[in-house]
Amino acid sequence: EVQLLESGGGLVQPGGSLRLSCAASGFTFSSNAMSWVRQAPGKGLEWVSAISGSGGSTYYADSVKGRFTISRDNSKNTLSLQLNSLRAEDTAVYYCVKFTAATGTRFFDYWGQGALVTVSS
Amino acid sequence: DIQLTQSPSFLSTSVGDRVTITCRASQGISSYLAWYQQKPGKAPKLLIYGASTLQSGVPSRFSGSGSGTEFTLTISSLQPEDFATYYCQQLNSYPLTFGGGTKVEIK
């Protein structure tokens, strides 16, 4: 059974930093791309970042580029998102997502339960 | 960036009704489109990928169609558990983007 368990959320002041982690199990982690998606309170879904299975390729939304860093440790089946220079508009539930990207098909097939990040003074 | 426009944004409907949600892309995305269902306080759930392929375990009353720039999610006969918010997503190119969502509520 695929499981994705986020941790590291919490309250942080504007300008501060936070690191989210996602522990993955139930699939071959190193063979799968992974992604982060966020959802501000009462709002829709926003894609944040993605990383290839090897970790050699990373992608970011313009809204977080230069402030957030995605990474992975395939030896520990762990995905991370480092959030720096946080702003009030970064307040959201952050979802860790398994990203299936095969020839001719791509989709987000498994989602974690989400970690709430609140940016406020 | 590819923009996705979902319509309607809100739908008030009844159990047993046929529901159709449209997703239009600002440029061609082939069939790299997925649909998700989200219930309050829960993570989204994959329904359809490749524009028309039903994810394993999803009831057959859900179907998807389209390619290029216009896509449709259809629920053939709405069930009580289908009242939720639905999102489309394009996975053709980065940045990946979602539609604004369609909230399906009980009339």
Judge whether residue A103 has pLDDT over 90: no
Return mean pLDDT, chain B.
97
Which tens digits make up the pLDDT trace of B62-105?
999 999 999 999 999 999 999 999 999 999 999 999 999 999 99
Establish if B41 touches chain A: CB-CB under 8 angstroms: no
Q: What is the pLDDT of residues A44-66, one digit of tens each?
A: 999 999 999 999 999 999 999 99
The reported pLDDT for the residue numbered A102 is 83
DSSP B80: G
Whether residue B50 lies within 8 A of chain A, CB to CB, comes out as yes
pLDDT at residue number B63: 98
Q: Do A59 and B91 touch (CB under 8 A)?
A: no
Query: Percentage of chain A with pLDDT > 70?
Result: 100
Contact A112 B43 (CB under 8 A): yes
Residue B107's pLDDT is 86
Q: Is A35 on the interface with B (CB under 8 A)?
A: yes
Are B98 and A114 within 8 A, CB to CB? no
Residue B54 has pLDDT above 90, yes or no: yes
Residue A116 has pLDDT above 90, yes or no: yes
Instruction: Place A104 in a pLDDT band, splitting at 50, 70 and 90.
Output: confident
Q: What is the pLDDT of residue B28?
A: 97
Q: Do A45 and B43 lie within an 8 Å CB cutoff?
A: no
CA-closest candidate to residue A26, choices A88, A92, A99, A77: A77
Distance from the A52 Cα atom to the nearest Cα atom in chain B, whole angstroms: 13
Neighbours of B54 (CB within 10 A): 17
Chain pair A-B, CB pairs under 8 angstroms: 61
Q: Tell whether B53 lies on the interface with A, counting CB pairs under 8 A.
A: yes
